[in-house]
Amino acid sequence: MADKQPGNTPSGMSPVLGPSSGARLIIWFLTALLLSFFWLDTAKRQHQADLSYTAFKDRVRAEQVVSITLQGQQVSGTFRKPEPGSQATGNRTVKQFVTTLPPIDDPELMPLLEQYDVEVRVRSESGSWWVRLLIGLVPWLLIIGLFWYASIKMQERMMGGSGAGGIFGFAKSRAKRFEKGQSRVTFDDVAGLENAKQDLCEISDYLRDPSPYRRLGAKIPRGILLMGPPGTGKTLLAKAVAGEANVPFFSISASEFIEMFVGVGASRVRDMFQSAKKEAPAIIFIDEIDSIGRARGTGLGGGHDEREQTLNQILNEMDGFEPHETVVVLAATNRPDVLDAALMRPGRFDRKVTLDLPDRPARQAILNIHARGVPLAGDVDLVRLAALTVGFSGADLENLINEAALLAGRKGKSEVDMQLMLAARDKVVLGGLREMLLSDDEKQLVAFHEAGHAVVASLLPHADPLDKVTIIPRGHALGVTEQIPAAERHNFKQSYLYDRLGVMLGGRSSEKLVFGEVSSGAEEDLKQATQLARHMVTHWGMSEKIGPVAFHRGEEHIFLGREMAQQRDFSEHTAEVIDDEVSMLLKHREVEIGQLLKNNRALLDAVAKALLEKETLEFDEIRALIDACPKATPGAGK
């Protein structure tokens, strides 16, 4: 940091030396002090004669020694008169001497000294005088230096000094600052999200040239909230806005505002907004704003008070923008339902942009972008790959391409082919392969379990098309039956959900039919089926006994204070009826699926046998088995 010039010092304040100048002064002072101590000690030694112990005793007998000082094994003394013939530096004669006592005590020494009237002094072994001086002086120098440095930093803060380093920099903003042109991401790098890009395009246009909008009396939105599931490109879209507008970009995660010190969050918010206003037009991007923007008054402890102070400061700053301060606040969250109402009102976050999971054309465009730097083989079909990745986010698709490239590198290939793409997709969806040795009985159980899922999925008219069945352990599952929806679904019919329940219960029903008992392998199936059945009864009104009534409960987000305090809006009797309806729905569907598998036992045995032989069956192979069994009868959805 450069020293402050006197001309820049505010009135009433004296100029303050920068930390570098003060540090140099302290170093020079300590160096001069040590050199002076060393020089004094050296000058003293130049006026002393170094005697052997025998010569020392001889001088005592010759009555040439007046006094000695004992300090441990070291003996220093004074001659009665200058030592003849021994000259020191210059023309001065030596009047002092030093010697060392032998390690074994000499019983003749003290009587000899008393006989010749030699004065004896004794000192402790704490070292020479200048060492003792340093030991007593250095702690005080350190304390004084610490207080001096603290006063300098505090004066710099009062005079508007900047910088987040040092022990007083914890109140400074941790936002990463990107200069104009430093963000090279543009809207061309964001595939899909056409509606979201259209909403944000006018923001970048306004920041580049606000005059056309100002002529029409339009005001720039102060805040834009990007909402969507994880991995849908909220952060990427914010960077693209900054890149298109070519303005400074301040990026920070909301959790970085909070520290162990009270008031630090609010101070960092003030510092960040102050920096952005100086650089206006500018963009501030706050990621995961729900970590500090949750509804106030829901905290269960004192730690939440600091979060609420930080939120209050953000609300304050967003209200304090002047018309000429073209600063836009972009924030991202995947939990908009928990944000404080004051944060969501117009004047704070005027615009809410929802980012959904990409549809098939968007997934193809995203795959094209992420496959730019990957050498692809001629058989790679990104259109088919986009169709096989329903429900994938942009981050998932990027990970899929990267996994395929890693598999190609592991196998020593120079290109990524379609087989590697499909293997990478299976790894992302199903998990990695597990090295697990199953006994023959376990393999047979898993084969019939997965065959039950596959047969039910093939015969029910409203179920999603079957894609693949495997009994190779992957992830946490011993086997997997995979279905690929034929089209993007945003609304679910009762017949589709009813058949979906049937596919989930197909594995357990197959075990009961073939082995006469069930196993623990259907745990995840039962969990998913119970959740789906409860939603059908309590959320979607798909129960004749309950009727068209929705019963929402607060257990889904129990970590939120306001939902922990929320009372259930239905009686205990209604809760019992709901439980009975969920249980009855699952039991009734299990009976129907059991009858369906019993009617198609030959097909079930054929699929299980093929799984035991090949371990993995594609849809075409299962379709061939179905065609070979003329007695296969499809089930009926509700």
**Residues with a known catalytic role:** 450
Residue 187's contacts (CB-CB under 8 Å, 6 or more residues apart) are: 197, 201, 240, 244
Specify whether the CB–CB gap between 421 and 380 falls below 8 A.
yes
Q: Is 548 annotated as a binding residue?
A: no
Sheet holding 249-253, edge to edge: 176-178, 249-253, 282-287, 327-333, 223-227, 351-354
Residue 232 labeled ligand binder: yes
234 marked as binding residue = yes
**233 among annotated binding-site residues:** yes
- Give dist(CA 5, CA 476) in Å, integer: 67
Going across the sheet that includes 616-618, the strands are 480-483, 466-470, 616-618
The DSSP letter of residue 417 is: -
Is 69 known as a binding-site position?
Answer: no
Q: Has 354 been labeled as part of a binding site?
A: no
- Compute the distance between CA of residue 607 and CA of residue 446 in angstroms, rounded to an integer: 12
Helix (H) or strand (E) holding 98: strand 96-100
Q: Is 449 part of any known ligand binding site?
A: yes
Spatial distance between the Cα atoms of 590 and 505, rounded to a whole number of angstroms? 6
The length of the chain in residues reads 638
CB within 8 A of 582, min separation 6: which ones?
Answer: 530, 533, 534, 537
**Helix spans in 47-189 (H):** 53-61, 109-115, 129-158
Alpha helices in 285-328 (DSSP H): 303-319
454 token code pair: 């596959």
Is 496:462 a contact under the CB 8 Å cutoff?
A: yes
What number of CA atoms fall less than 13 Å from residue 362's CA on the CB side?
Answer: 21
229 is annotated as contributing to ligand binding: yes
Alpha-carbon distance of 622 to 410, in angstroms, equals 32
What is the pairing mode between strands 282-287 and 327-333? parallel
Are 60 and 113 spatial neighbours (Cβ–Cβ below 8 Å)?
yes
Contacts 24+ apart (CB under 8 A), 199-205: 199/224, 199/351, 199/353, 200/224, 200/237, 200/240, 200/241, 200/353, 201/244, 203/241, 203/245, 203/328, 204/241, 204/244, 204/245, 205/245
Between CA 334 and CA 233 the distance in angstroms is 11
336 known member of a binding site: no
SS3 21: helix
CA distance linking residue 634 with residue 458, whole number of Å: 8
- CB of 291 closer than 8 Å to CB of 252: no
The answer to whether 231 is a known ligand-binding residue is yes
Binding residues for ATP: 228-235
Binding residues for Zn(2+): 449, 453, 525
Binding residues: 228-235, 449, 453, 525
